[in-house]
């Protein structure tokens, strides 16, 4: 059986931290296949980390172990947890990072990681990714059963995302993520936006002048450098420029308010 | 048999996009070995992507599947193609990205990707890397035959590179790539430059004052921070500083004109 | 047996250079498992490269081949070497890059790489990572014996790190590394700092006003944005901000002097 482990963190790639986690995994599970979801989550921003993990998780084979660590509370009493779904196992800190992805798959069971013998021999206070989560992911990939890690738990920290507010003719949400192209990804799901599909809509983003447009299907529907709105590949409304950087053009950043309305 | 798949894109590494492609590959071909050529191609710049893929491809084992996606035309009628050579299979958009590497190996056959059952169940309009190219690469690695993907084609888009112009005592070309060290890689191949090997040459790059030099063999041939010209590891004339950043020093950027002449 | 190869370089990730090394490895050793330690070492800075390799190496399985290339002297008469310890094999240039990690494991044997048949057919003057070190690492992973590479050597270049100076009530060292979080990692090992564990200490770093603090255990011991000093996950004294960037706040950079004293 394939032993697939995904990694998500805010560690960046210039330091040896990611390698130390991978080395810890391979030391315990030599036949693991490791995929980096990203190590470029904005530092300490577990909401964005949760969004990225939830975006990628559906594409992984059944049985994948997803290890994630965006962990400002490392070394404090925040718990280390494992969350099991029908599709996957999630390992990381109990700060909401894992729950968005896990809930969309249906959570079966949650455990607190307590067993010292399933951690590295020396556990630092500042790098649980390497000393606790990576070994746990590797042991899970090896088939160690959930109950060996620690007691079952029923309450975990939920990630707090702003809800989209609906009126008859408008939706208000926020910028969930600005991607590396400068595409502005909002928290408005295709389900929220469905009612506006055939209308000319007015989009207000950050401080820019309101934009008038119909929903596009792809970037190339408009001329290069022209703005458009579409349902992105993650299923969320996205404001973009064809072959350009919308976030820079419109001065949009994480958490900014976005409104769309019939015009 | 080894199932080696290389990936080239302009996606960057902060988003989950590359992971989604890899997850799609492993879901279809669990025993694949994936190597990232780069995900740092300048956004939408398929010429540079073509150069990078052509630089790396010769070092891969025979039978490698090279998947590349720098794809400003995603979702428009531009075709999705497979190009087969004696050495490798290339998968990506029909915009020239694959052809520089493939032509240097000798093209045997080209196919348009049309078969829906060899794509992901849901094909988005904005992310064919994940929904079409990654699955195609995985199926090719699994040994699915070319004819199953779609009809044979005979014409594809060729990448447009500026040709080097020769006079008796001078060569004019352009900056093909500025690498992460700031080395200025030109489009002048070792074959073009051969005739100047023993001369003192004058190099004109961007707005900088002309440089007088002989061709060097390696960076350490000159003192630290001193300029030099050499044939780089990809076989192209390169203007560099020993332990320094030539592109910043000389203000050179992609596409700038470069002239070398006997002085 | 597992064939684990780690890679450390200053090549960055935007160019195809790392991929060319990996392709060269897989062409010789198809079953290798490759882990990137980092390719983000500051250009030409083999001291920082040595620190990163030494940080990561202890977490790798026994038998790992560590290939490293931060190599301003490529193509000059500097030697290419293999260093064998009880735990691992190290491959790279003879400029000190390998020795910090190797010495901490106990060096058994050192060899100069001379055998042309264990290199790529064409060896460039500018990219020994691809043409010499990657093939050597792959052949070592395949079990080729040390004596086949070249003659035994007894002297190699040692990396020059500033020693920590001790007085009765103070330690003086330097900034060894600033990580991607902005944490300031010093060259003071936990052994040096032990004597100050229960004291209120004064920390002087770069041009910032002296800080008064006790050693913390983890970042969350202080309020967000507050400074702290702790023993980091690599075993060295680290000056940090809880959920903040200490290097930017205090203007600290590589090589800056750090003093701690009883106050």
What are the pLDDT digits (tens) for B71-122?
999 988 999 999 999 999 999 999 999 999 999 999 999 999 999 999 999 9
| Residue A161 scores a pLDDT above 80 | yes
Average pLDDT over residues B210-217: 91
CA-nearest of C173, C166, C163, C182 to C237 is: C173
C74/chain B closest Cα distance in angstroms: 7
Average pLDDT over residues B186-204: 91
A30/chain C closest Cα distance in angstroms: 7
Average pLDDT over residues C204-227: 90
Question: What pLDDT does residue B160 have?
Answer: 87
Average pLDDT over residues A46-53: 95
Residues of C in contact with A26 (CB under 8 A): 2, 4, 33, 35, 60-61
What mean pLDDT, rounded, does chain A reach?
Answer: 95
Question: What pLDDT does residue A1 have?
Answer: 64
- With an 8 Å Cβ cutoff, is A158 touching chain C? no
CA-nearest of C181, C184, C201 to C193 is: C201
Of B15, B19, B22, the CB nearest to A179: B15
Question: What pLDDT does residue A199 have?
Answer: 87
Q: Is B173 helix (H, G, I), strand (E, B) or coil?
A: strand
- With an 8 Å Cβ cutoff, is C237 touching chain A? no
| Residue C206 scores a pLDDT above 90 | no
**High-pLDDT (> 70) share of chain A, %:** 100
Contact A55, B16 (CB under 8 A): yes
Question: What pLDDT does residue A230 have?
Answer: 95
For chain C, the first-to-last Cα distance in angstroms comes to 55
Helix, strand and coil content of chain A, in percent to the nearest 5, comes to 25, 30, 45
Residues of A in contact with C13 (CB under 8 A): 13
CA-nearest of B33, B35, B39, B37 to B9 is: B39
Please give the class, per CATH, of domain A163-262. Answer: mainly beta
Contact B171, B196 (CB under 8 A): yes
Average pLDDT over residues C203-207: 86
| Residue C27 scores a pLDDT above 80 | yes
- With an 8 Å Cβ cutoff, is C43 touching chain B? yes
Pairing of strands B165-166, B184-189: unpaired
Domain boundaries along the sequence of chain B = 4-153, 163-262
Q: Which residue of A has its CA nearest to B43?
A: A181
Least confident stretch, A66-70, B235-239, C115-119, C206-210: C206-210
Residue of A126, A127, A180 to mutate, interface with C, max C Cβ within 10 Å:
A126
* DSSP conformational letter for C209: P
Instruction: Assign domain A4-153 one CATH number from 3.40.50.450, 3.40.50.10790, 3.40.50.1000, 3.40.50.300.
Output: 3.40.50.10790
Residue of C51, C218, C239, C248 to mutate, interface with A, max A Cβ within 10 Å:
C218
The answer to whether the A4-153 and A163-262 domains have the same CATH topology is no
**High-pLDDT (> 90) share of chain A, %:** 89
Question: What pLDDT does residue B198 have?
Answer: 86
Pairing of strands C80-85, C107-112: antiparallel
- With an 8 Å Cβ cutoff, is C26 touching chain B? yes
Question: What pLDDT does residue C1 have?
Answer: 65
Average pLDDT over residues A124-150: 97
Contact C2, C61 (CB under 8 A): yes
Note the Cα B38 to chain centre separation in Å.
9
User: CA distances (Å), B56 to each of A73, B90, B138, in order?
Assistant: 42, 13, 20
Predicted confidence band of residue A208 (pLDDT cuts 50, 70, 90):
confident
Helix, strand and coil content of chain C, in percent to the nearest 5, comes to 25, 30, 40
| Contact flag C27-B52 (C-beta cutoff 8 Å) | no
What are the pLDDT digits (tens) for A60-99?
999 999 999 999 999 889 999 999 999 999 999 999 999 9
Residue at token pair 């925040």: A78
Of A38, A52, A217, the CB nearest to B75: A217
What are the pLDDT digits (tens) for C123-154?
999 999 999 999 999 999 999 999 999 999 99
Neighbours of chain C (3+ CB pairs under 8 A): A, B
State the Cα–Cα distance between residues C251 and C208, nearest whole angstrom.
7
Question: What pLDDT does residue B1 have?
Answer: 65
Q: Is A249 helix (H, G, I), strand (E, B) or coil?
A: helix
CA-nearest of C97, C91, C172 to C138 is: C91
What are the pLDDT digits (tens) for C28-84?
999 999 999 999 999 999 999 999 999 999 999 999 999 999 999 998 899 999 999
| Residue B207 scores a pLDDT above 80 | no
Reading the block at residue A263, the tokens are 């015009």
| Contact flag C38-A16 (C-beta cutoff 8 Å) | yes
State the Cα–Cα distance between residues A205 and A61, nearest whole angstrom.
37
Contact B126, A230 (CB under 8 A): yes
Residue at token pair 């079952």: A152
What mean pLDDT, rounded, does chain C reach?
Answer: 95
Contact B42, B13 (CB under 8 A): no
Question: What pLDDT does residue A2 have?
Answer: 79
- With an 8 Å Cβ cutoff, is C26 touching chain A? no
CA-nearest of A102, A103, A52, A2 to A236 is: A52
The alpha-carbon radius of gyration of chain C (Å, integer) is 20
> Which range is most confident: A94-108, A207-221, B201-215?
A94-108
State the Cα–Cα distance between residues B80 and B102, nearest whole angstrom.
15
Residues of B in contact with A221 (CB under 8 A): 75
| Residue A100 scores a pLDDT above 80 | yes
Predicted confidence band of residue A207 (pLDDT cuts 50, 70, 90):
confident
């Amino acid at each position: 059986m394939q032993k697939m482990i995904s990694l998500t963190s805010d560690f960046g790639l210039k330091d040896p931290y990611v390698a130390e986690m991978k080395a810890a995994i391979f030391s315990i599970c030599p036949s693991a296949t490791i995929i980096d979801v990203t190590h470029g989550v904005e530092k300490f921003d577990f909401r964005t980390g949760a969004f990225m993990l939830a975006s990628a998780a559906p594409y992984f084979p059944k049985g994948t172990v997803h290890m994630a660590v965006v962990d400002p509370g490392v070394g404090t009493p925040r718990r280390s947890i494992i969350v099991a779904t029908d599709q996957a196992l999630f390992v990381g800190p109990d700060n909401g990072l894992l729950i968005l992805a896990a809930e969309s798959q249906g959570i079966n069971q949650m455990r607190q990681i307590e067993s010292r013998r399933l951690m590295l021999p020396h556990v630092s206070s500042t790098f649980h990714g390497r000393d606790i989560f990576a070994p746990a992911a590797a042991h899970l990939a090896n088939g160690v059963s959930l109950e060996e890690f620690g007691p079952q738990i029923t309450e975990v920290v939920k990630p707090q995302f702003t809800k989209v507010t609906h009126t008859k003719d408008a939706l208000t949400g926020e910028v969930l993520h600005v991607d590396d192209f400068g595409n502005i990804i909002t928290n408005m799901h295709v389900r929220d936006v469905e009612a506006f599909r055939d209308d000319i809509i007015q989009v207000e983003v950050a401080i820019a002048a309101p934009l008038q447009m119909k929903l596009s299907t792809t970037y190339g529907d408009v001329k290069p450098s022209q703005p458009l709105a579409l349902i992105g590949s993650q299923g969320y409304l996205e404001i973009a420029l064809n072959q350009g950087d919308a976030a820079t053009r419109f001065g949009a950043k994480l958490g900014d308010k976005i409104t769309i309305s019939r015009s």
